[in-house]
Structure 1
Amino acid sequence: MLQLIIVLPLLLTIPTVFAWKLFEKAGKKGYLTLIPFYNLYILLQLIKKPLWWYIFLLTPFINVFVYMLMVIELVKAFGKNDLIQHLFAAVLPFVYLPMIGMDSKSYYTDPDKIKKIKKGPVREWLDAIIFAVVAATIIRTFLFEAYTIPTSSMEKSLLVGDFLFVSKISYGPRIPNTPIAFPFVHHTLPWSETAKSYVEWVKWPYYRFAGLGPVKRNDAVVFNYPAGDTLSVRFQSNVSYYSLIREYGRERVWTDERNFGEIIARPVDKRENYIKRCVGLPGDVIQVVNGDLMVNGQPNPTPGIIQFRYSVKTDGSAINQKVLDKYDITEGKIGTTQGEYTFWISEEIANNLREMSSIKSVTRVTEPEGIWNPETFPNADNYPWNIDNYGPIEIPKAGRTVDLTALTLPLYERIITAYEGNKLEVKGNEIFINGKLSTTYTFKMDYYWLMGDNRHNSADSRYWGFVPNDHIVGKAVFVWLSLDKNKSLFNGKIRLSKSMRFVK
């Protein structure tokens, strides 16, 4: 963060240099534009803004927006008041400022002596809208963004209907891959279910600014869905494209548009946003044993509330809704036999149910060891894992080298091709990367392992594997509002006890 406080104001010296002639016209030495930090102080003097504005100039990313405002105020002092002139000044200062400097008809007027120009209502609205869009875009891209929890994969740590703020600055904000996009939406235009909200004429490579620190174990992390690079327009990210391929075959998925819709690709920053808990860092070894998570051979304590699927059997009587409300049991179903239920609950709630006289048994349901679930990563029968008995598996770390064999390739194939952009070919028992015979591979990026706290109702790394560093969006930090979709406004819709709280 200290780097950003220093580096960004230094970078603002570059466009300020192009105001050399403007400084001279305003009675200042032109060479002052070359002095970092001091040039911004002189600029504040020229536009007659208070010294406390300098605080904004030292605030990462906010300073970019404030600097654009300062440049606009500077050209106003030279009689440039049209909207298009302000846009040129903010976006192309290295072109427009020298033009004003070389224009003999443009001269500096003290802002305190400039008669305020009355704007028409259209101009007033345009100025307000442009200001709001630019400010909000900078805040959403570089500082923090509001998100909503749509699914129960993090219950009861985060609830469906939670509205939260995600800090982009925690791990460092990314430059957008697709900078030209409709504001305030993600990947689809609001009036359409399929129309893209972005264009790919301009694509920027991945770059992340410095942040407050690295991703830490047990952080609640928002990230772009790794398996969302290709998807069916009909199913979107609700059903993985790769699951469809495994079940129906590539030819049918690509040709049967009636059932699967168009198959499209999305850049990293426009893939669906997911939120899970980071349980594994680069270099960690992850294993799930009978449903319990192990990290580097040790149980992994979590600040969240962990839920599992339980089979509940009563003496034949029904479980009253008041009991479900008392223990906040919101996920479950009735079995085919009277008195049988399935609930997704924590161990604490399971123990409370066991104390009820009408309940005969409460048993956690787990998939037995050795029973392969083909939907679990890496989707290969050499790894007969399921969600309750999984691994061990080591999380790739940047700079670390692994052996490549027919056995290990399923673990790393997607990293080599989709995430790190190499061409992979297998000829017999030989593996070729970018046309060269390869027996090892060195990772370019760090990777993470993310899982939902609702262990038996979460699509997470157990299904789609490692999460690349360039997919990390930010850290979930604060829930400002929590709404219960099943209740009315005057009957507990606003969950006051779950609102205005920090995310654990």
Structure 2
Amino acid sequence: MPFLTALVLGGFVAYMAGWYFGAIEGNMALLLFMAVCVTGVYWIAEKFWFQPHRRKAAADFEIAQSQREASLAAKGVTGDNVNVAQTKERLLAQPWWLDWTAGLFPVILAVFLLRSFAYEPFKIPSGSMIPSLLIGDLILVNKYEWGLRMPVLNKKITQGTPVQRGEVMVFRYPPKPSVDYIKRVVGLPGDTVSYIDKKLSVNGKEIDHTPLPDFLDESTMQYYQQFQEQLGTHTHRILIDANRPAGIPVLEDFPQSESCRYSIEGVTCKVPAGHYFVMGDNRDNSADSRFWGFVPDDHIVGKAVAVWLNLGDLKRIGRIE
């Protein structure tokens, strides 16, 4: 068992190293599920086999030692040098290979359940959601508000509340589902979304936006036009780069691309049933539904609700707009 356990732990370490260095595409949900299963088997084996056998060995030793001491006393021999307490402690001690498996099971199970059904942490890797979310923001994603989903399979098991325009969604990137993206929901199933001459309209109604002072993006050290925009009941800020052209190039032939019309002024899309149209708040620096298409419902990870830490700016902590 020690050798087998070493192989199993080595496999997990190799997987994590390969993921970290980019040799393989990691899947945290799958990794945690496998860890729960493996450590759970060891925990059951420990509870119903290994631990009872260690206790029996300690009890047998204590009985045997008592008999030995009685036998020696009958012969007039005293002063047995055996340390009974220390020997029992050694016999009852959990070996390393159980300590690193069964011993970790409750912690791994708690993390798995919390991450799968309550909140999952994410780190913002790019500037597509500036100014709402900055590079390096550590955010919490609500996993239950839009409906609970089966871990790994991501199949919805409860309905939850409907997704609303203006909410910030974390989802599996449709062209590459192993990668998670974060954008703002602009169009719901059945909506017609237009982004023409850098002005957003939903179902023929132009979305209100109010000019704000220009925003300095410290990641690029450039100033951008800043506006306050309202989608549904959600108010947030967006950035516009006046030097970028309004036209949207079609980068790839995505599923249901026939639902979109492109021109030098922009793009208009009819959102299919069971899909969402998403955009970044940094409108001219975001690869989003304008370029690669719609987000299917079964790709949703959860709703981004708060920044819980940014090591470079603690004032960033708070609710996401």
Which range, TM-score by smaller chain? 0.5 to 0.7
Paired residues of 2:217 and 2:223 also in contact (CA < 8 A): yes
Corresponding residue of 1:146? 121
Corresponding residue of 2:294? 466
In 1, the alpha carbon distance for the partners of 2:123 and 2:252 equals 27
Corresponding residue of 2:276? 448
Corresponding residue of 2:107? 132
Paired residues of 2:146 and 2:302 also in contact (CA < 8 A): yes
Change (3 A) 1:212 1:144: same
User: Does residue 330 of the first structure (1) align with residue 214 of the second (2)?
Assistant: no
Deviation of the 1:332 alpha carbon: 4.0
User: Does residue 82 of the first structure (1) align with residue 57 of the second (2)?
Assistant: no
Paired residues of 1:174 and 1:208 also in contact (CA < 8 A): yes
Helix, strand or coil for the counterpart of 2:106? helix
Q: Deviations over 1:154-197 (max 9, x none)?
A: 001011000011111121232244xxxxxxxxxxxxxxxxxxxx
In 1, the alpha carbon distance for the partners of 2:51 and 2:150 equals 27
In 2, the alpha carbon distance for the partners of 1:375 and 1:150 equals 22
In 2, the alpha carbon distance for the partners of 1:468 and 1:140 equals 21
Deviation of the 1:383 alpha carbon: 3.6
> Equivalent of 1:385, from 259, 263, 286?
263
Normalising by structure 2, what TM-score?
0.61
Corresponding residue of 1:367? 245
Deviation of the 1:375 alpha carbon: 2.1
In 2, the alpha carbon distance for the partners of 1:363 and 1:146 equals 30
Q: Give the counterpart letter for 2:189 in structure 1.
A: P
User: Does residue 346 of the first structure (1) align with residue 221 of the second (2)?
Assistant: no
Q: Deviations over 1:60-119 (max 9, x none)?
A: xxxxx9xxx9xx89x96xxx353799xxxxxxxxxxxxxxxxxxxxxxxxxxxxxxx944
Corresponding residue of 2:319? 502
Q: List alignment gaps of at least 5 residues for structure 2.
A: 1-35, 54-90, 229-239
In 1, the alpha carbon distance for the partners of 2:310 and 2:262 equals 40
Corresponding residue of 2:180? 273
Helix, strand or coil for the counterpart of 1:139? helix
Corresponding residue of 1:285? 192
In 2, the alpha carbon distance for the partners of 1:306 and 1:128 equals 55
Deviation of the 1:470 alpha carbon: 0.4
Paired residues of 2:248 and 2:267 also in contact (CA < 8 A): no
Higher strand share: 2
In 2, the alpha carbon distance for the partners of 1:454 and 1:152 equals 7
Corresponding residue of 1:193? none
Corresponding residue of 1:221? 169
Normalising by structure 1, what TM-score?
0.40
Deviation of the 1:144 alpha carbon: 1.6
Highest relative contact order (Cα 8 Å, sep 6+), 1 or 2?
2
> Equivalent of 1:160, from 114, 130, 135?
135
In 1, the alpha carbon distance for the partners of 2:226 and 2:136 equals 20
Corresponding residue of 1:475? 303
Corresponding residue of 2:94? 120
Helix, strand or coil for the counterpart of 1:477? strand
The number of residues matched between the two structures is 229
Helix, strand or coil for the counterpart of 1:134? helix
User: Does residue 394 of the first structure (1) align with residue 270 of the second (2)?
Assistant: yes
In 2, the alpha carbon distance for the partners of 1:83 and 1:166 equals 39
Q: Give the counterpart letter for 2:126 in structure 1.
A: T
The CA RMSD measured in Å over matched residues stands at 3.8
Change (3 A) 1:82 1:289: same
